[in-house]
Amino acid sequence: MYDFAYHKPSSIADAVKLLTDDPDAKPVSGGMTLLPALKHRLNQPTALVDLSGIAELRDVRREGDALVIGAMVRHYEVATDPQIMAAIPALARMASTIGDTQVRNRGTIGGSIANNDPAADYPAAALALGATIVTDRRSIPADDFFLGMFTTALEPGELVTAISFPIPEKAGYAKLRNPASRYSMTGVFVARGPKGVGVGVNGAGPCAFRQAEMEAALAANWSVEAVAGVKQAPDDLNSDIHGSAEYRANLVTVMAKRAVADAG
C-alpha cells in the first residue's frame, strides 16, 4: 500500500470534519474491502479515518417498532446480539454466513451498507425490511440509498451512523455462494412486516434490488408456491465465469423459495 495519514477520531463530528476537510481521505470501519484494495495499490487515499474509536456507532437499541444497529456493529455481533436474534433472527442468521470468522470479527454492517458491493449480503435485507439508513446529517430510506454498483446516495464526507430496521413479523434469507469468493452469487431476503412484504435480491444484479412481482405474489399468498412460479428476467443481471445471467435469474426464484421456507 502507499503511504497515508491515519486518524482515529472519537466522535462523529470529528470524523466528518476530517473527511470534509480532505476530500481524498477515506473512512475505514472493518476494512474488509478497503484494506485489500490498499494492499493491491488499487486505491490511494491521503488519509484513513478509522471509525472504531467512536463509541456511539456501536449501539444496538430498540426504538419503538424498529431495531437500530450502529454502523460499527460487527457481523459477529449482529449474528450473536440477543436483541437482534430476538427481533430479526433472519438478519442475525444472515450475518453469521458472511465471509469467515476473521471477516465477521472485523467487518461492520455500516461498512457493508456504505460500500454497496453487489455481492454483499446486507443491502438485500435493508431493502426487504424497508430499513432506513441514518447518516450524520439525514435519514435515507433503503429504496433511495442503493443507487448502483458500489454507488449509494451518500454525499462526499457523509457517514453512515446506523441502520434502522422495522421489526418484521417474519423474515428469511437464502443464498448461493460464489464457489471461489464465497460472496453471494445470488441471495434473496424476504420479509413481511409493518410496511408490507419485501423481497430483496443481492448478487444477481449490479446492485441489490427489490423483486416486485415476488412481493405481490407473497402479499397475496405467503408461501413457497407463490414465489415458485415467478421468473426473474435475466436482462441486466450480472454474468461472469461463475454464473451466467440466466443462471442467476434462476437462482432468484430458487433462493426466494428457500428464503420463504426459512422464514416459515
Partner 1 sequence: MNVTKPVGAAFEGIGASVRRKEDLRFLRGRGRYTDDLSRPEQLQAWILRSPHAHARILSIDTAAAAAMPGVQAVLTAKEAEADGLGGVPCGWQVTGKGGQVMAEPMHPVLASGKVRHVGDPVAMVVAETKAQARDAAEAILVEYAPLPALPDMAAALAPRAVALHDEAPGNLCFDWEIGDKAATDAAFAGAHKVVRFETTNNRLVPNAMEPRAALGEYDPNADEYTLTTTSQNPHVIRLLMGGFVLKVPEAKLRVVAPDVGGGFGSKIYHYAEEALVTWAARRVGRPVKWTCERSESFLSDAHGRDHVTRAELALDAEGRFLGLRVETLANMGAYLSTFAPAIPTYLSATLLAGCYTTPAIHGQVKAVFTSTVPVDAYRGAGRPETTYLLERLVDVAARETGIDRIEIRRRNFIHPDQFPYQTPVALQYDSGDYETTLRLALEAADHAGFEQRRAEAKARGKLRGIGISTYLEACGIAPSKLVGQLGARAGLYEVANIRVHPTGSISVFTGTHSHGQGHETTFAQLVAEQLGVPLGSVEIVHGDTGKIPFGMGTYGSRSLAVGGAAMVKAMDKIIAKGRRIAAHLLEASVEDIEFGVDEAGGRFRVAGTDRTKSLAEISMAAYVPHDYPIEELEPGLEETAFYDPKNFTYPGGCHVCEVEIDPETGETQVVNFTACDDVGRVINPMIVEGQIQGGLAQGIGQALLEGTVYDSEGQLLTASLNDYAMPRATQVPSFGVSTAVTLCTHNPLGVKGCGEVGAIGSPPAVINAVVDALRELGVTHVEMPATPLKIWSIIQGKGGALSAATA
Cβ–Cβ under 8 Å, residues 49 and 19 = yes
Q: What gap in Å lies between CA 248 and CA 232, rounded to an integer?
A: 9
State how beta strands 209-210 and 151-152 pair.
unpaired
Which one, 106 or 175, has the nearer CB to partner 1?
175
Shortest Å, Cβ 17 to partner 1: 30
Q: Which residues make beta-bridge pairs with 173?
A: 189
CB 222, min distance to partner 1, A: 21
CA-to-CA separations, 253 to 167, 169, 205, 228, 247, in angstroms, rounded: 25, 22, 14, 6, 10
Between 96 and 250, name the residue whose CB sits nearer to partner 1: 250
Q: Least distance from C-beta 57 to partner 1, angstroms?
A: 28
Rounded to 10 deg, the angle between the 122-129 and 89-96 helix axes is 170
Q: Which residue, 82 or 180, has its beta carbon nearer to partner 1? A: 180
CB of 27 to partner 1, least distance (A): 23
* Nearest CB to partner 1, comparing residues 165 and 183: 183
Judged by the rule CB under 8 A, the positions of this chain that interact with partner 1 are 1-2, 40-41, 176, 179-182, 241-244, 246-247, 250-251, 254
Nearer to partner 1, 182 or 195 (CB): 182
Give kind and range of the element (H or E) at residue 86.
Answer: helix 82-87
The distance of closest approach from Cβ of residue 30 to partner 1 in the complex, given in angstroms and rounded to an integer, is 17
